Each structure stands twice: as structure tokens, then as C-alpha cells.
Amino acid sequence: MASDLNKTLSKEYIGLQLWVLIVICLGVVFLVILSISLWLSFRKKSRRANVMLPLTQVPYVSEEIKEIRVDQASANNGNTLNEKFSDKGSEKGLFNVDNGEDSGQSGSFNHVDKDVKGSQPGEEGATGAVSTYRPSSNPLTAPSPLSGLPEFSRLGWGHWFTLRDLHLATNRFSKDNIIGDGGYGVVYRGNLINGTPVAVKKLLNNPGQADKDFRVEVEAIGHVRHKNLVRLLGYCIEGTQRLLVYEYVNNGNLEQWLRGDMSDKGYLTWEARIKILLGTAKALAYLHEAIEPKVVHRDIKSSNILIDDNFDAKISDFGLAKLLGDGKSYITTRVMGTFGYVAPEYANSGLLNEKSDVYSFGVVLLEAITGRYPIDYGRPQPEVNMVEWLKMMVQLRRSEEVVDPNIETRPSTSALKRALLTALRCVDPDADKRPKMSQVARMLEAEEYPLPREV
């Protein structure tokens, strides 16, 4: 039987013995199976790469920031705070039309979007055309700005954009699309493939610093939602590039409206200024009191308060923000911020907590009342420092003289007094005597002043 098998295997077909042909066929089958296995394995890895970043590219997020999330608890906190400090009043005029020449000084941004639009004019009256406040739609029911984008690029709280996505959105980071720049980098206006307008912040490629600034902004507001905070939509990490993608707010900032590039469209009315400052106060109250760990912005100033078409404030630029965990009242840190807005205890010793933001807010409130810069060396010596000059004017009972002359309809005496006393409490040299931002919001809404102090 063995000899028959040998004879069979020794038979030749197409010049090769049968056993050789069998070995060759088995080898081919093995190679085909191996090729298919490798292809399936490669395809599976490719799919994984599309839905997650490589480990070396995942942005660092601290363990404690996991407590800041858009879940039911934080949503309820935000809603509770919004209801507690809800806007009052019916529709009001928001700015006075400027009938004279543009005499304002330029804002802090080196370049401003030329296509910035003001709000729609209302009916003509005795003071000319004015814009009226129309409440915005409920943000909880508004369509997501990320709808329609590829699902595979979603990661965690936001959206992972590729560098190619942002090249397309900003026309290859064209100079014509620049809407702001500073020590952190450059901000470009762009449009996503789904048509959503965005602001793309391209951080400077300083070794180590770009990653630090990136982590700060992601940790500070990546998971936070509030109608008066600029929403961080997503980010991009490729090589040395670090980019942040924000919602686009197209109506300038408070500084520009007070004395800068928006003054050709008119000047903000008193009601509009208080509305903007009230929204800012509510957003800071949310950051300080409604989430854990609390967020200290550290760079509250008029140029970081953006204004949307409804003249609602939106705080931006969290590049200097700090997180304060549970049980921490102060942290010692390198002094950062903008001259004229920095709290004295922070400037002198580096001690930082939420009361530092309260001081900066008080300076911004005084800016809105007076229309002048916090520090202006072009003025006589007693008037260089706005805060000290304001205190002197109040002591001399000359409060009526500090109101911005560009406000066409001056505020009532009681409204002016309420705003001034609120601001002066915020800029108290003793941090412990400054109110919480939730108290500040109630002060600005109150019909009478002063309010009783809360323990």
C-alpha cells in the first residue's frame, strides 16, 4: 500500500511530481490566509485610529477636572443660577447712534473682523435709530454647532479637528481672517464644513508653553456651559500645533464698544452697559460658585468680554485661568494679567482666589460707567489711575461728573449711585470685604441700594 502511495505521489503533472504540486498548493493557501489575516488586522487598527487620538496626542486633563461635566447635576446648577439671577425688564434700546466723528481710541485687538455686524435697527425716535433687545432662543434647544460633522472625530467632551479641517476653515490661516492676536497667539475667523462660523485660536509654538496654555483652557472650560461664556467647541493637536476652536461671537467686545472700533456704529446706552455687566457677573458667579473645582479667570477685562447680536456678554480667553479645588481658598502663583485690572493682593504677593476676579470686574464696571481706561497717562496726575480718581470724585460728591459723556441719555441718580457703590465694593483693597459675584449680580439688579451684607 505504501508503494502504491509512493507511485501515485511520484507521478508527474505539467513537469512536476504530484507531491511537489501538493506542497506548492498548500503554501499558496497558507500565504492567502496570512494575507487576509494581516489585511483584516490592519483595517481594524485603521478604524480605531479614526475614532481616537494616539496616546501621545491625547491632551492632559487632570483627575479633578472630571467633576466638571455636562451632566444633569451641572446642568441643574447652571439652570438654578440662571433662574436665580434671571434678566429683568422688557425690550430696551441698546446703543445710541453716533452722530459725530469717530473719536474713540483703538481697542486692544490689533485687528478686528471687517465683516462684524451690528444688530438690526429699530424704529426711529427722538434720539435717532436704536437697536432693541430681542431675547435669544433657548440654548438648550438650539441646534449643536457641531451637527453634520463626521462622527469619527468626536472625542470626549468636544470635537477633535484635524489640521486640514482648520486649514480649510480659515483659508489656510489667511491674514485676512485674523480677528485678534496677543501674547498667547493669533485668533482667526473660520467656517466649518457644516457652515458654522468659529474662532480658531492658534497658540504660539513656544516649547512647553503652548502645551501649558492648551491644557489650562481645556481644563478650565472644556466641560463648562453657560450662556455668558464663550463655548469651547473643540481642539486640534498635530505635531507642535495646538489650536482651540470656539464659537464665533461677531459683535465686537466691550472695549471696542466703549471707545474703540465699534464707536462708528454708535455708543452703548446705560441699559445696554448694565445688561452686559450683569451677564458677565452671572457667568463669573457660575465659575466661582456653581461648579467644582471653581475656576478663577485671572484676566477679566473689557476686551475679554465679547458681545453677541443680542448684546449679551460672553466671557472669553481662559488662557490664564486657574482651578481651585475643594477646600482651597488661596493659591500662590506667578502674577499674570493686565495692568490696571489686577487686584492689589495678587499683584503684591501672588495670592489668588475668586476675589481677584471680583476686583477686576469692579474695574470693568467703572470702565463702563466712565468710558475711560483703567490707567491713562495722557490725563493729569490725579486722574491717571481710574479707581483712585473715582474714589476721590465720590468723596467730593461729584459723582455726576464721572459718567461717560458719550451716553446720550444719562442714568438716573439712583441707578448711577447703585452702580458706583457696587463697583467700589468690588475694588475694596481688602479682599475679604469684597462681595461674591452672586451678590454683585443681585446688586446690579436691585431696585434699591445698599443691600444688606451677607455673612
| pLDDT 10s digits, 58-73 | 333 333 333 333 333 3
Q: Tens of pLDDT along 65-109?
A: 333 333 333 334 334 334 443 444 433 445 554 433 333 333 333
User: pLDDT at position 210, please?
Assistant: 57
Measured distance CA(442)–CA(282) in Å, rounded: 9
Q: Tens of pLDDT along 372-429?
A: 999 999 999 999 999 999 999 999 999 999 999 999 899 999 999 999 999 999 999 9
- pLDDT band with cut points at 50, 70 and 90 for residue 180: confident
Residue-averaged pLDDT of the chain = 75
Q: Which segments within 152-311 are labelled E, that is strand?
A: 154-155, 158-160, 178-182, 185-191, 197-203, 232-238, 241-247, 267-268, 294-296, 305-307
The cell for 234 is 473643540
More confident residue, 102 or 367: 367
User: pLDDT at position 452, please?
Assistant: 47
Please say if the pLDDT value at position 116 is more than 70: no
Q: How many CB atoms lie within 10 A of CB 248?
A: 21
Catalytically annotated residues:
299
More confident residue, 455 or 367: 367
CB-based contacts of 382, cutoff 8 Å, min separation 6: 388, 389, 392
Q: Tens of pLDDT along 318-332?
A: 877 777 765 566 677
Cβ proximity of 434 and 422 under 8 Å: no
Measured distance CA(346)–CA(330) in Å, rounded: 10
Q: Tens of pLDDT along 283-318?
A: 999 999 998 888 899 899 999 999 999 999 999 988
Nearest to 170 by CA among 202, 207, 206, 125: 202
Write down the pTM of the prediction: 0.65
202 is in an annotated binding site: yes
Measured distance CA(217)–CA(330) in Å, rounded: 20
Per-domain residue ranges for the chain? 2-51
CB-based burial label for 224 (10 Å; 0-12, 13-18, 19+): buried
The cell for 277 is 455687566
Sort strands 351-352 and 331-332 into parallel, antiparallel or unpaired.
antiparallel
The cell for 184 is 498667547
Least confident of 26-30, 258-262, 280-284, 342-346: 258-262
User: pLDDT at position 248, please?
Assistant: 94
Please say if the pLDDT value at position 449 is more than 70: no
Measured distance CA(26)–CA(399) in Å, rounded: 98
More confident residue, 136 or 251: 251
Helix, strand, or coil here: 225?
coil
User: pLDDT at position 336, please?
Assistant: 79
User: pLDDT at position 47, please?
Assistant: 54
Helix, strand, or coil here: 282?
helix
The cell for 428 is 475694596
Measured distance CA(453)–CA(304) in Å, rounded: 29
User: pLDDT at position 393, please?
Assistant: 95
Residue with cell 489650562: 216
Q: What percent of the chain has pLDDT over 90?
A: 39
Measured distance CA(16)–CA(329) in Å, rounded: 88
Q: Tens of pLDDT along 11-24?
A: 777 777 777 778 88
CA contacts within 13 A on the Cβ side of 124: 1
User: pLDDT at position 448, please?
Assistant: 58
Measured distance CA(268)–CA(257) in Å, rounded: 7
- The angle at the Cα of 229, spanning 359 to 85, to the nearest 5 degrees, equals 70
Mean pLDDT (whole number) for 230-245: 87
Q: Tens of pLDDT along 135-158?
A: 343 444 455 666 655 544 444 456
